Structure 1
């Protein structure tokens, strides 16, 4: 029973937690700055295996980390041997895309934006087509390695890699 409750909480959090809980994944492009160390400032894209390369450190597995956790990993790696008190900042330069198909004007993949909701995603895709349902909107996403599908509404938060399907209206 406890496992079910915990997994339910994790799934719900992945749908409703804020953007500050963003988890890094393949395709995200990061901007990493070590203050006072211009040679260590870099832009890097997370590869399909989930690793990035960073000077003086081994490849770093970043899938599942937030930007704050990655800052700590890099800081700890540089601390002492390379820099006395490294101040590290990690920001997302480019998010991986989300996808929308079905009854929209321009289906396809679109760059994710902070605070993206389903109504904004539909607007990016040119709006609903004449045959679109106004309530049959489904969102598929991976949650802890499990593909889940929910019914969306205009306020549903969208995440990178989400697949949105806008169904056809029957009337």
Structure 2
């Protein structure tokens, strides 16, 4: 498993990671880093987004992050600090740990695993030790959070997995 995870990390170029992070919407369980240049009291390393989708941030109080991109959060914090507190703040936000994805059913090691940008169903299966003898390579389902609810999708091996997704591998009949 470590070899597969190492390969996934190496396969992601810095440009691909930046692109994936740019479109990525934060959610409960993500760990982020907030840096405010020249302001150590306002820089936070490794704060986890709570179940409510918020964090507690100095001077601003409760800040809602769930459903927002990293750039939107940077702008939100910048606007909150600008003016009364700082004249021209420089804010940088990055994801340091994504929430996990889950894989169940006919895989050798079902469970939750750390997410990496660019992950596909095929790679998720490899991380979980591969398919069992009883697995159906066509019976692949993915459940994804969607606007406060969930939707279930029939997927192929090349389908992109997102943080928080649950993959279910059905068993074959024969």
**TM-score past 0.5 threshold:** yes
What are the within-5 Å matches in structure 2 for residues 90-129 of structure 1? Answer: 90-129=93-132
* Number of the residue aligned with 2:12: none
TM-score, normalised with respect to structure 1: 0.86
Instruction: Compute the RMSD of aligned alpha carbons.
Output: 1.4
Q: Distance in 2 between matches of 1:63 and 1:132?
A: 35
SS in 1 for 2:132: coil
* Number of the residue aligned with 2:4: none
Residues 19 and 32 of structure 1: CA distance in aligned 2, closer, same or farther (over 3 Å):
closer
Q: Distance in 2 between matches of 1:19 and 1:155?
A: 20
* Number of the residue aligned with 2:40: 38
Q: Distance in 2 between matches of 1:116 and 1:19?
A: 13
- The alpha carbon displacement at 1:21 in A equals 1.8
* Number of the residue aligned with 2:149: 146
- The alpha carbon displacement at 1:19 in A equals 5.2
SS in 1 for 2:126: helix
Please give the per-residue CA displacement for 1:2-54, whole angstroms capped at 9, x wherever unaligned.
xxxxxxxxxxxxxxxx6532111111111000112222210311111111111
List runs of 5+ in structure 1 lacking aligned partners.
1-17
TM-score, normalised with respect to structure 2: 0.85
Residues 116 and 38 of structure 1: CA distance in aligned 2, closer, same or farther (over 3 Å):
same
Is 1:71–1:88's contact at 8 Å kept on the other side of the alignment?
Answer: yes
Which ranges of 4 or more aligned residues in structure 1 deviate by more than 3 Å?
none
* Number of the residue aligned with 2:52: 49
Residues 91 and 19 of structure 1: CA distance in aligned 2, closer, same or farther (over 3 Å):
closer
Q: Distance in 1 between matches of 2:61 and 2:143?
A: 34
Please give the per-residue CA displacement for 1:49-78, whole angstroms capped at 9, x wherever unaligned.
111111111210111111110000000011
Q: Which of these residues, 8, 12, 29, is aligned with residue 31 of structure 2?
A: 29
- The alpha carbon displacement at 1:125 in A equals 0.3
Q: Distance in 1 between matches of 2:39 and 2:102?
A: 38
Is 1:98–1:161's contact at 8 Å kept on the other side of the alignment?
Answer: yes
Is 2:21–2:95's contact at 8 Å kept on the other side of the alignment?
Answer: no
- The alpha carbon displacement at 1:100 in A equals 0.3
